[in-house]
């Protein structure tokens, strides 16, 4: 094929972020409306060229933030098996609707879309493990020590329960409408994860208690999801947000957004992803109420909000 194309979508972590790095289970939901599309075209005789919203030019002059992207291209072309593919000269185009540095899995989604484009280019299919490994290689460059949840979630059709490196679909007994609010502040997942590691080394008892409570919340939420129990899920979200604050990844601004969502009638709200900036996720009773919550979040400073309804895949 002359050109390969691939897509992937954003994700939001509902429960278990950070604790998942220490082996806890976690729940993630897909955000299908925030999609990334990639195109790879072999271009003999020239270096890897990247065209994206962040940067256009050759890989060797690309900024640091694109290192995971370059890793993904090399890993994906290598994995699809063509002789010399890892060194192959190509043009990569990335069109992403996923804001970067907002805890929505943009780096994993770009890598997943690249893996799909490389497989499409060579007319092959990657098995789930090979695919996961390509995304994880890029994620290691982006975040240092990724649990693998983002890599699984950005290619899953529906909500997943992630544990010990693998993911399985989780049931959702009733459609759940979430409002996602961008705090407008980028959060570095790598820095947030490193901060938790340092605080855990300094105060293991207190940190491990919070991490195990976050694990219990995630585990217990599986039944609430299956039952479609919004009220129970909302309480768990508020509890999880407080614990994420305790392990040091919330901010005054994220707390204010959670409080605004709650005051506007949300069942619950919490930061989602790495924290220290990024996004807040709120659970609404209905799509009509979601509009009201979104308005409240925007008037509390969120530059943009999205509404998504999650149902079983």
The first and second tokens of residue 211, run together, are 């991490």
d(CA 165, CA 30): 18
Choosing from 10, 14, 20, 62, the residue that interacts with ligand MEV (CB under 6 A) is 20
Choosing from 8, 14, 15, 17, the residue that interacts with ligand MEV (CB under 6 A) is 17
Q: Mark 115-151 as b/e (b = at least 16 C-beta within 10 Å).
A: bbbbbbbbeeebeeebbbbbbbbbbebbbeebbbbbb
Choosing from 66, 138, 150, 159, the residue that interacts with ligand MEV (CB under 6 A) is 150
Give the residue carrying structure tokens 């585990």. Answer: 219
Closest CB 311 distance from ligand MEV, rounded Å: 22
Site string for ligand MEV, 55-94 (x = CB under 6 A): ----------------------------------------
Q: How far is CA 297 from the centre of its chain?
A: 21
Closest CB 3 distance from ligand MEV, rounded Å: 31
Q: Does 274 bind ligand MEV (CB under 6 A)?
A: yes
Q: Does 159 bind ligand MEV (CB under 6 A)?
A: no
d(CA 75, CA 131): 10
The first and second tokens of residue 182, run together, are 């961008």
Whether 150 sits among the annotated catalytic residues: the reply is yes
Q: Degrees (nearest 5) of the Cα angle 144, 221, 107? A: 25
Kindly state the helix (H) or strand (E) to which residue 90 belongs, with its residue range.
strand 90-96
The first and second tokens of residue 252, run together, are 């005054």
Q: Does 13 bind ligand MEV (CB under 6 A)?
A: yes
d(CA 193, CA 170): 26
The first and second tokens of residue 61, run together, are 């002059």
Closest CB 244 distance from ligand MEV, rounded Å: 10
Q: Which is nearer to ligand MEV, 48 or 192 (CB)?
A: 192
Catalytic residue among 120, 150, 224, 229: 150
Q: Does 21 bind ligand MEV (CB under 6 A)?
A: yes
Q: Yes or no: say if 36 and 154 are a contact pair by the CB < 8 Å rule.
A: no
Choosing from 147, 183, 289, 305, the residue that interacts with ligand MEV (CB under 6 A) is 147
Choosing from 103, 159, 248, 277, the residue that interacts with ligand MEV (CB under 6 A) is 103
Q: Which is nearer to ligand MEV, 200 or 230 (CB)?
A: 200
Choosing from 9, 18, 137, 270, the residue that interacts with ligand MEV (CB under 6 A) is 18
Q: Yes or no: say if 31 and 12 are a contact pair by the CB < 8 Å rule.
A: yes
Active site residues: 150
Residues that bind ligand MEV (CB under 6 A): 13, 17-18, 20-21, 103, 143, 146-147, 149-150, 189, 193, 273-274
């Amino acid at each position: 094929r002359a050109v390969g194309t691939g897509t992937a979508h954003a994700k939001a972590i509902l429960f278990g972020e950070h604790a998942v790095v220490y082996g806890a289970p976690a729940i993630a939901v897909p955000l299908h409306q925030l999609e990334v599309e990639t195109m790879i075209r072999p271009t003999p005789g020239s270096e890897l060229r990247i065209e994206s919203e962040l940067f256009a030019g050759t890989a060797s002059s690309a900024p640091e933030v694109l290192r995971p992207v370059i890793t993904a291209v090399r890993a994906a072309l290598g994995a699809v098996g063509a002789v010399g593919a890892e060194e192959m000269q190509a043009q990569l185009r990335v069109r992403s609707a996923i804001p970067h540095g907002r805890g929505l899995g943009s780096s994993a989604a770009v890598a997943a879309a690249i893996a799909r484009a490389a497989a499409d280019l060579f007319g092959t299919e990657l098995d789930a493990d090979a695919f996961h490994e390509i995304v994880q290689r890029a994620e290691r460059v982006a975040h240092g020590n990724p649990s693998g949840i983002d890599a699984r979630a950005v290619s899953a059709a529906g909500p997943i329960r992630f544990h010990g490196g693998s993911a399985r679909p989780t049931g959702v007994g009733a459609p759940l409408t979430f409002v996602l609010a961008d705090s407008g502040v980028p959060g570095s997942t790598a820095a947030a994860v490193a901060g938790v590691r340092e605080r855990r080394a300094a105060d293991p008892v207190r940190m491990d208690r919070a991490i195990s409570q976050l694990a219990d919340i995630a585990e217990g939420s599986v039944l609430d999801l299956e039952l479609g129990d919004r009220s129970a899920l909302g309480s768990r979200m508020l509890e999880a947000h407080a614990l994420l604050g305790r392990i040091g990844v919330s901010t005054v601004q994220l707390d204010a957004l959670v409080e605004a969502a709650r005051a506007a009638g949300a069942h619950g709200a919490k930061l989602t992803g790495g924290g220290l900036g990024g996004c807040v996720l709120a659970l609404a009773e209905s799509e009509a109420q979601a509009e009201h919550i979104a308005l409240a979040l925007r008037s509390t400073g969120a530059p943009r909000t999205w509404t998504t309804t999650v149902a079983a895949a």
